[in-house]
Amino acid sequence: MTTLLLPLAAANPLIPEPAEIIASICFALILTLVIWKFVVPRFEQTYAERTAAIQGGIEKAEHAQAEAAAALEKYNAQLAEARGEAAKIREDAKTQGSQILADMREQAQAEAARIRAAAESQLQAERAQVVAQLRGEIGGLATTLAGRIVGESLEDDERARRTIDRFIAELEAESSDESAPAGTS
C-alpha cells in the first residue's frame, strides 16, 4: 500500500503547475488592463457626473434659497407698506367719520333751530290769534256784564272798545307785576 501512495506524494496537488501560474498571471494582467481601460473610466465618468449633479444641486439650492430670502424680504416690505397704508386709511376714515359726525351735528342743530324758530313763530301767531279771540270774547262778556251792572246798554262800539282795552291793560299790568318778583328770585 505504500507503493500506491508514492506516486501521489511526488505530485503535490496543492502546488500548481508552472504553466498554470503563468496563465493565471497573464489572465490577471489582462483582466486588470480591461478593468483599467473600460471599467475605471466609466466609474470616473459616473463619479464626475454625480459630483457635478450634486454640486449643481447645491448651487441651485443656494440660489433658490437666496431668491426665497429676497422674495421674503420683498414680501415683508410690501406687508409693512400695506400695514402703513391700512393705518393711514383707518386714520383717514376716522377723520372723515368725525368730520361727517360734526357736519351732521351741525346740520341737526341748524334743523332744530329752524324747527324751533318755526314753532315759536307759529306759537306766537297762534297766541296772538287766541289773545284776539279772548279779547273779543272777554270784551263781549265784559260789556254784557258791565251793562247789567250799570244798568244801561253799552252798545256803543267805540266806548265798549275803550272800556275793554283799559280792562285788559289793567289785567296785563297786574299779571306782569305778579310775574316780575317770581322771575327775579
**pLDDT value for 148:** 74
Residue type, 177: D
Buried b / exposed e over 56-94, threshold 16 CB at 10 Å, is eeeeeeeeeeeeeeeeeeeeeeeeeeeeeeeeeeeeeee
Return mean pLDDT, the chain: 84
Confidence of residue 149 (pLDDT cuts 50, 70, 90): confident
pTM, to two decimals = 0.38
Higher pLDDT, 162 or 124: 124
Q: Does residue 28 register a pLDDT over 50?
A: yes
Torsion of CA 21, 27, 33, 39, to 10 degrees: -130
pLDDT > 70: percent of the chain: 84
**pLDDT value for 5:** 46
Whether the Cβ atoms of residue 167 and residue 142 lie closer than 8 Å to each other: yes
pLDDT > 90: percent of the chain: 51
pLDDT tens for residues 94-128? 999 999 999 999 999 999 999 999 999 998 988 88
Higher pLDDT, 8 or 135: 135
For 143, counting Cβ atoms within 10 Å of its Cβ (0-12 exposed, 13-18 middle, 19+ buried), the class is buried
Q: Does residue 131 register a pLDDT over 90?
A: no
